[in-house]
Amino acid sequence: MSEALRVGVAGLGTVGGGTVKELVENAALLESRCGRPIKLVAVAEMNRDRQAVLPLDGVTWYDDALALIDADDVDVVVELIGGSGGIAKKLCEVALNAGKHVVTANKALIAHHGNALAEIAEEKGVTLGYEAAVAGGIPIIKAIREGLVGNGIARVYGIFNGTSNYILTTMRETGREFGDVLKEAQKLGYAEADPSFDVDGVDTAHKLAILTSVAFGCRLDFDAVHVEGIRHVSALDIQFADELGYRIKLLGVTCIGDAGVEQRVHPCMVPADAAIAKVEGVFNAVVADGNLTDATMYVGRGAGEKPTASAVVSDIADIARGRNVPTLGVPAADLTDIPTVPMERHRGAFYVRLTLLDLPGVFADVAAILRDHAVSMESLLQHGRAPNEAVPVVMIFHETDEASVSAALSKIESLDTVVEPPRVIRIEQF
């Protein structure tokens, strides 16, 4: 029998605890599938309370995560501390430089520092595994990097954040507003006490930056991602979307064309009969468009103890089997710097909701501004009238460029008869 692969886990929170359980409880299964034992030999965690609730018999406990690097009996360092810098970054850098394999679920770390970490890993001939960093239990990194290796990928898009998807789903099902549903999600444990990374799109942007690199063979560039969240989506917008045959989803979309790469995160209206529109609650979904496969879709739980631990252990298993592929799909030295297409050059259709005083001539003023900015309207929706009072008016714009729409709406917002900022949601036809 081959020698055991010895693993040390740093961070025993939700994912770290789940990883420990899976490595111990499924040891026989993993050995049969990998052809060698995978042995948990050490953990690092400052909170000793976790000792009582995890299967840690015979496992060395360290208070300092960096001690895992100096431990002669640790082959793989699993970083589950979190954060884009600090101890997590240092642990990964030092471990890789010491010739130890590293596995992480840290999407912020990879999004911000993945280029440099990939270079170290490849220089030292070790693995940097991060399957758990994107979409939890969905094996999307392996699917794109390895399963679709023969495809030219034109576009990847998806629902990458279960918290936001839960909130939008519940708003649609109950008619309640964002703030109310967010509080419920926090009570249920679906949202953090500070939900900013989730509802403001940052978590999705981290994951999208990683997928862009893997799909297109370019260097990670988190700063190139256009990011918007869902705080401005109202129950009224969701009601109008339903009437128009759409569902509102927070999507990450990355695509490549002659002008370069678009990376954008924002609420989207998608046709209600599209497959991704039917992905509800805390579930994630990823779609990759390959030139040989067309669209392939992957759906599953994107977070939580067991799904994320499953992804962590899959990377450990690859190391046990001796599999080592370039971290980001191609050798780090060959990653390209593809130009970024600025958001103002994005072209698409738009949903716009205006709140207007119901007075004679108001819409003529709006129409004139749209004409002057070459923005064409496909349809208009208004229910009833309320003379001299504010009423919501929904317009659907034909495909046009972002800059023209922004300029037109800025002018419209300055009208005395417009009583609230225009609400804009981009329409995606999948």
106 phi and psi angles, rounded to 5 deg: -90, 90
Share the mean pLDDT of the chain.
96
Look up residue 386 and give its two tokens.
């309320």
Lowest-pLDDT range of 48-62, 257-271, 281-295, 339-353: 48-62
- Would the pLDDT of 2 be above 90? no
Domain with CATH 3.30.70.260 in the chain: 346-427
Identify the pLDDT of residue 296: 97
Give the residue-averaged pLDDT of 281-295. 97
What is the pTM (predicted TM-score) of this model?
A: 0.96
Torsion sign over Cα 205, 211, 216, 218: positive
Helical H segments across 217-260, by residue range: 235-244
Identify the pLDDT of residue 236: 96
Look up residue 38 and give its two tokens.
């995978």
Identify the pLDDT of residue 50: 84
Distance CA 38, CA 26 (A): 10
Torsion sign over Cα 290, 294, 300, 306: negative
Give the residue-averaged pLDDT of 175-195. 94
Residues carrying an active site annotation: 207
Distance CA 264, CA 343 (A): 8
For residue 366, give every residue at least 6 positions away whose Cβ sits within 8 Å of its Cβ, in sequence order, or none: 354, 356, 412, 415
pLDDT band at 22 (very low <50, low <70, confident <90, very high): very high
- Would the pLDDT of 40 be above 80? yes
Identify the pLDDT of residue 268: 98
423 phi and psi angles, rounded to 5 deg: -105, 125
Domain with CATH 3.30.360.10 in the chain: 140-301
- Would the pLDDT of 235 be above 60? yes
- Would the pLDDT of 1 be above 70? no
Domain with CATH 3.40.50.720 in the chain: 5-133
- Would the pLDDT of 108 be above 80? yes
β 294-301/101-104 pair status: unpaired
Q: Are 375 and 399 in contact (CB under 8 A)?
A: no
Q: How far is CA 64 from CA 8, 47, 333, in A?
A: 12, 11, 33
Give the residue-averaged pLDDT of 249-260. 97
Quick one: which of 91, 87, 113 has its CA closest to 102?
91
Distance CA 312, CA 309 (A): 5
For residue 371, give every residue at least 6 positions away whose Cβ sits within 8 Å of its Cβ, in sequence order, or none: none
pLDDT tens-digit readout, 296-346:
999 999 889 999 999 999 999 999 999 999 999 999 999 999 999 999 999
| CATH class name, domain 140-301 | alpha beta
Phi-psi region of 125 (alpha: psi -120 to 50; beta: other; left: phi over 0): left
pLDDT tens-digit readout, 401-423:
999 999 999 999 999 999 999 99
pLDDT band at 49 (very low <50, low <70, confident <90, very high): confident
Look up residue 41 and give its two tokens.
């030999």
Q: Are 238 and 171 in contact (CB under 8 A)?
A: yes
pLDDT tens-digit readout, 119-156:
999 999 999 999 999 998 999 999 999 999 999 999 99
Coil/strand/helix, residue 225: coil
- Would the pLDDT of 387 be above 80? no
177 phi and psi angles, rounded to 5 deg: -85, 165
- Would the pLDDT of 106 be above 90? yes
Look up residue 212 and give its two tokens.
């862009």
**275 - beta bridge partners?**
none
State CA 139 to chain mean position distance: 13
Better-scored residue on pLDDT, 161 or 430? 161
Distance CA 378, CA 395 (A): 7
Look up residue 418 and give its two tokens.
């417009």
pLDDT band at 38 (very low <50, low <70, confident <90, very high): very high
Given the structure tokens 């980001």, which residue do they identify? Answer: 328
| CATH class name, domain 5-133 | alpha beta
Q: Are 260 and 340 in contact (CB under 8 A)?
A: yes
pLDDT band at 430 (very low <50, low <70, confident <90, very high): confident
Given the structure tokens 């939008």, which residue do they identify? Answer: 168
Helical H segments across 143-288, by residue range: 162-174, 178-188, 196-199, 202-216, 235-244
pLDDT band at 178 (very low <50, low <70, confident <90, very high): very high
Q: Are 109 and 83 in contact (CB under 8 A)?
A: yes
Q: Are 131 and 166 in contact (CB under 8 A)?
A: no
* Fold observed for domain 346-427: Alpha-Beta Plaits (3.30.70)
Q: Are 324 and 101 in contact (CB under 8 A)?
A: no
For residue 226, give every residue at least 6 positions away whose Cβ sits within 8 Å of its Cβ, in sequence order, or none: 263, 264, 265, 266, 343
Given the structure tokens 């840690």, which residue do they identify? Answer: 56
Give the residue-averaged pLDDT of 20-43. 97
Give the CB-side neighbour count of residue 174, counting CA atoms within 13 A: 14
Given the structure tokens 């009437």, which residue do they identify? Answer: 243
Better-scored residue on pLDDT, 92 or 304? 92
Share of the chain above pLDDT 90, in %: 92
Look up residue 201 and give its two tokens.
């799109």
Identify the pLDDT of residue 131: 98
Look up residue 99 and give its two tokens.
């010739």
Identify the pLDDT of residue 244: 96
- Would the pLDDT of 384 be above 80? no
pLDDT band at 51 (very low <50, low <70, confident <90, very high): confident
- Would the pLDDT of 71 be above 70? yes
Distance CA 74, CA 371 (A): 67
Better-scored residue on pLDDT, 252 or 389? 252
